[in-house]
Amino acid sequence: MLPSLVALAFALSSALAAAPVAPTVAPSPADPGRQAPEIAWRPYSDAAFADAKAQHRLVLLDLQAVWCHWCHVMDAETYSDPAVATLIADHYVALRVDQESRPDLATRYEDYGWPATILLDADGNDLARRRGFIPPIPMASMLLAFVDDPTPGPSVTGSGGPPPAPGSGALPQAVFDSALATWNIGYDVNMGSWGFDQKYMDADSVEYAMWRAQRGDATAAAEVKQTLKAQEALFDPTWGGVYQYSTDGDWAHPHFEKIMTVQSNNLRLYALAAAADPSWTHDVGEVRRFLAAFLTSPVGAFYTSQDADSVPGQHCADFFALDDAGRRTLPMPRVDQHSYARENGWAIAAFAQAYAVTGEADTLARALKAANWVVANRSLPGGGFRHDEAAPAPDVGGPYLDDTLAMGNAELALYGVTADRVWLQRARDAATFIAANFASPDGLGVLPTPPLALGAHGPAPAVEKDQNVACARFANLLWRYTGDPGEKALLDGVLRYLTSPDVAVNRPVAGTLLATAEAGQAPLHVTVIGSKKDKTAKALFAAAIASPTAYRRIEWWDQKEGPLPNPDVDYPPMKQAAAFVCSAGSCSAPTSDPAALKKLVAAHLGD
């Protein structure tokens, strides 16, 4: 029966390829009455590849997301198809991975998902990479084609290239101009946001526009305002929180999943916007409301995501159009209750920024509770963090850069809003762990995992741009707080990668523009001097951390704690609590008035 099935699959696939793409799924090439075999899904492991080699099979990797609607559809329509399931059973070792559980694989294949369908040989070499939902007939055709000729296809052979040439650590003017032009061209002047097909708030672009707006760029200021306003269309009016994105080039076709990276970025950026314009404070509250109600565990750690679907695989616009009572009469969208260190780090940093603006004690308490839980339950020796539980599911392929980087940044954010030196030391420990375990051997950037962490199968990890942007921003601000040469060395290695002309001009460019802008300029530097029990000192510190910039070094020097971590400024002895705003080796006159401090900060940011 298989030869006729093959012929029919290829014939129908060819016909589909010649015809316009329809939104419906083509009929199965298999006999409608035939029972589909159960696919024996396995985790990604060396043992799976060893079995593939011993059995002369290829490997199918289905990289999914718990919250992903089209992953559910592919399960229901493609992997349940008898022809597809038979081909997999006969010729493949089938691997299924939740991409959020394996940051190494997610980083490697993030351009192809979700779902991402990857075909590999038994040595772990990629043969094909496919993005998104694949209907049954094209899937059967692809599976058969690689059984017949297991050599890499164009999705693999057309990628890659020589390693980037080292940069100088700063963007040459011509490279900066090219990257800036790319960023400007990417803005949708009609609909707002950077990007034209999928509409969402790109965090690096918005924050870079905020940076430029603070320095007098009126166009960037208007773009920030337009994008923040447009993004409100993706807010869930019933439960709060933010849908991932909208399709069709407008803001009216949302995908309803709520994932932590979207929630944390929106919480953080609306909080930064609210620091300059309190009208955005409502949006801060709406994201915080969802996270508190749906993505917070009983122990105070944060969960990972909420599914797009009420019933997996069924469109859910009608569900999300209901009020709270109506929704609760139906199956609830699944919440992924994993508490990963990475997602917690993102949320903690965002809650810290929200607290800095709102001053709400509960917001800070939530950040601290989650951070203490992660430290107690996800720490590794030496300052790093594991992704998930140590047992019974250890981090296969880990440790992962994302977890230690996100938590290190969260710890630095907590120091920035509490002045508790315990958090600064923990951030420093995280930076030390990153330098020891993730630095690329060629000195250009940091790797997503230690070399060869994937085991015997698959290539060595490759440097990834977004991670290096995040690492540059973390290492730079940490070094400004401490003056430590080791942290400066980590920063310099990352900047040599980011400022390579081969890297800097490639999309996305906003992160590189933002990270290099920060590295080339000292942050806003405010030092409050006075006892941490002093009411005036407390008010000054609260005013300082509410500054409308993420790039800030806010310190509180209670002299009972000893010298500041980076004693690069000599402050005069003070008889009462006071604050200084410092820049380029000089400081303002001291002030004991929080309102006057805010004016000094505004003047500094406007320079």
Give the pLDDT confidence score for residue 14 in this predicted structure.
39
SS3 of the chain: helix, strand, coil, percent, to 5: 50, 10, 40
Q: What is the pLDDT of residues 196-216, one digit of tens each?
A: 999 999 999 999 999 999 999
Q: How much of the chain exceeds pLDDT 70, in percent?
A: 91
Q: What is the pLDDT of residues 586-600, one digit of tens each?
A: 899 999 999 999 999
Separation between Cα atoms, residue 143 and residue 93, nearest integer Å: 12
Give the type of residue at 576: Q
Q: What is the pLDDT of residues 239-271, one digit of tens each?
A: 999 999 999 999 999 999 999 999 999 999 999
Tokens standing for residue 411: 């710890």
* pLDDT, averaged across the chain: 91
> Is 44 in contact with 63 (CB distance < 8 Å)?
no
Based on the number of CB atoms within 10 Å of its own CB, is 158 exposed (0-12), middle (13-18) or buried (19 or more)?
A: exposed
> Residue 230: is its pLDDT beyond 50?
yes
Q: What is the pLDDT of residues 307-324, one digit of tens each?
A: 999 999 888 999 999 999
Domain chopping of the chain, boundaries: 2-157, 524-606
Architecture of domain 524-606: 3-Layer(aba) Sandwich (3.40)
CATH number 2.20.25.10 given to 2-157: no
DSSP 8-state class, residue 142: H
Separation between Cα atoms, residue 256 and residue 309, nearest integer Å: 8
Identical fold for domains 2-157 and 524-606, yes or no, is: yes
Separation between Cα atoms, residue 290 and residue 241, nearest integer Å: 5
Q: What is the pLDDT of residues 500-537, one digit of tens each?
A: 999 999 999 999 999 999 999 999 999 999 999 999 99
Give the pLDDT confidence score for residue 110 in this predicted structure.
87
- Return all residues near 421 (Cβ < 8 A) that are at least 6 apart: 415, 561, 565
Strand pairing class (258-259; 305-306): antiparallel
Q: What is the pLDDT of residues 115-151, one digit of tens each?
A: 999 999 999 999 999 999 999 999 999 999 999 999 9
DSSP 8-state class, residue 296: B
> Is 434 in contact with 426 (CB distance < 8 Å)?
no
What pTM was estimated for this model as a whole?
A: 0.91
- Return all residues near 519 (Cβ < 8 A) that are at least 6 apart: 169, 170, 472, 476, 491, 495
Q: What is 380-400 written as a DSSP string? A: -TTS-B-SS-SSSS--TT---
What is the radius of gyration, based on Cα positions, of the chain?
26
Q: What is the pLDDT of residues 314-360, one digit of tens each?
A: 889 999 999 999 999 999 999 999 999 999 999 999 999 999 999 99
At 607, the pLDDT band (50, 70, 90 cuts) reads: low
Give the pLDDT confidence score for residue 1 in this predicted structure.
35
For the chain, the residue count is 607
Strand order through the sheet with 552-557? 552-557, 524-529, 578-583, 586-587
The residue whose two tokens read 């990153």 is: 434
Tell me the β-bridge partners of 118: 61, 129
